[in-house]
Amino acid sequence: MSIIDRYSSHLPASYSNSPQGRFVSLLLVRKVESEAIFRTEGSGEPLNREFVFAGRASRDQQNSIIPRIVISKRKQTAVERRTGRELLRRFDLLKGKNERVCSLNTNTPCEWCVDCMLYGYAAGGGGSQRSRVITDDAFSLHSADVITGQRQFNALFDNSTMYDPESGKRSTSINTDEYIRPESLFIDIETLKDVTPDELRYVLGNLFRSARYGAISSRIGKLENILAGVVFSDCELFSNLELTQAVYDVLGDGKDLDFPLHQSQVERAVRLVTGVLLRDLPGRHVALSEEEVGELRREIVALYSDEAALETMLRQMTASYGPRA
């Protein structure tokens, strides 16, 4: 029996318009594997950052406030959502009512595909679906001072110089970008509400298959999503910031964190502090063991390696939302 089937009693068997209060929290370590830039918009803009306490144990010490780099919630799900839509498009599953092709940011959602029903939509005609993939800002484990650097860039002409061979004018396209260093780590919780077993498989597939985030993603921004834990509950868990600060306390033990940190070391810390923080959670919860999390990932990899099984799952999931009008 698969891991998801083993815990299916914590998930609704089918989609329902009525909230049921069943949550699945995916505890993630987002590992930057190349230079990356997470900013609001435009070249030359600074990286998104917030000044917060380094850890939970030092909140009463003013000198423990540090700047942390932030990956905004929309920068996360936008990538993962498009990863899933590529898959749906491959199987011609992005058509809804009246065979209308589903499109993002054009006010023409199909109101029926897996993407619309899971990540949400709002149509100009009045229809809407609230996203059941709940995200929040992800915070860097280290201080921004530790994990950032700067790169200068320019735009050369055809003769590989800064001078236009025809006009003789010098290029003004020279600037400096602030970037995030490779091996930087971000702690994140992606919360799924009232998702079916197949919807959970779909979201996990999007997470594992998404590879590039942030600005200039065609050249930089390589990132790996590491699943450190899974918790089934009847309420939301603690915040991303609280989890990040707790992990910082465990790994730092009152000192500044080394950089870079071993991935396995951070995963163990996430699982450790999750167990501690869950003690104060006002609700029921069940957490997967380390072995079960590893088995779950292998199940998703096997599913996405089997084209026929994957297509069957996606078509069954699409049909479960009901007939198209």
pTM of the model: 0.88
* Predicted local confidence at residue 175, as pLDDT: 58
Kindly report the number of other CB atoms within 10 A of residue 238's CB atom: 16
Query: Is residue 159 over pLDDT 70?
Result: no
The answer to whether 238 touches 247, Cβ cutoff 8 Å, is no
Cα–Cα distance list, 28 to 23, 113, 146, 269, 293 (Å)? 16, 26, 21, 12, 11
The answer to whether 285 touches 231, Cβ cutoff 8 Å, is yes
**Domain span holding position 67:** 3-319
From 32-46, 141-155, 238-252, 299-313, the region with the lowest mean pLDDT: 32-46
Q: How confident is the model at residue 41 (pLDDT cuts 50, 70, 90)?
A: low
Query: Is there a domain that residue 324 lies in?
Result: no
pLDDT in tens, 57-93: 765 555 588 999 999 888 888 899 999 999 999 999 9
Question: Which residue did the predictor score with more confidence, 256 or 196?
Answer: 196
Query: Is residue 39 over pLDDT 70?
Result: yes
Among 124, 182, 192, CA closest to 151: 182
The number of distinct structural domains making up the chain is: 1
Query: Is there a domain that residue 21 lies in?
Result: yes
DSSP letters of 67-136? EEEEE-HHHHHHHHHHHHHHHHHHTT--B-GGGPBPBTTTTB--SSSHHHHHH-EE-TTS-EE--SEE--
The span from the CA of 193 to the CA of 159, in Å, is 56
Mean of pLDDT values over 187-196: 96
Residue 68 phi, psi dihedral angles, 5° rounding: -115, 140
The span from the CA of 314 to the CA of 117, in Å, is 13
The span from the CA of 238 to the CA of 279, in Å, is 11
Mean of pLDDT values over 297-321: 95
Query: Is residue 260 over pLDDT 80?
Result: yes
* % of the chain exceeding 70 in pLDDT: 83
From 24-33, 80-89, 213-222, the region with the lowest mean pLDDT: 213-222
Token pair in block for residue 1: 């029996």
Query: Is there a domain that residue 325 lies in?
Result: no
Question: Which residue did the predictor score with more confidence, 161 or 245?
Answer: 245
Query: Is there a domain that residue 245 lies in?
Result: yes
Mean of pLDDT values over 262-288: 95
Query: Is residue 245 over pLDDT 90?
Result: yes
Query: Is residue 177 over pLDDT 60?
Result: yes
* Predicted local confidence at residue 214, as pLDDT: 81
Mean of pLDDT values over 93-103: 74
Query: Is there a domain that residue 187 lies in?
Result: yes
Token pair in block for residue 115: 């993407």
The span from the CA of 246 to the CA of 145, in Å, is 20
Question: Which residue did the predictor score with more confidence, 214 or 216?
Answer: 214
Q: How confident is the model at residue 248 (pLDDT cuts 50, 70, 90)?
A: very high
DSSP category for residue 151: E
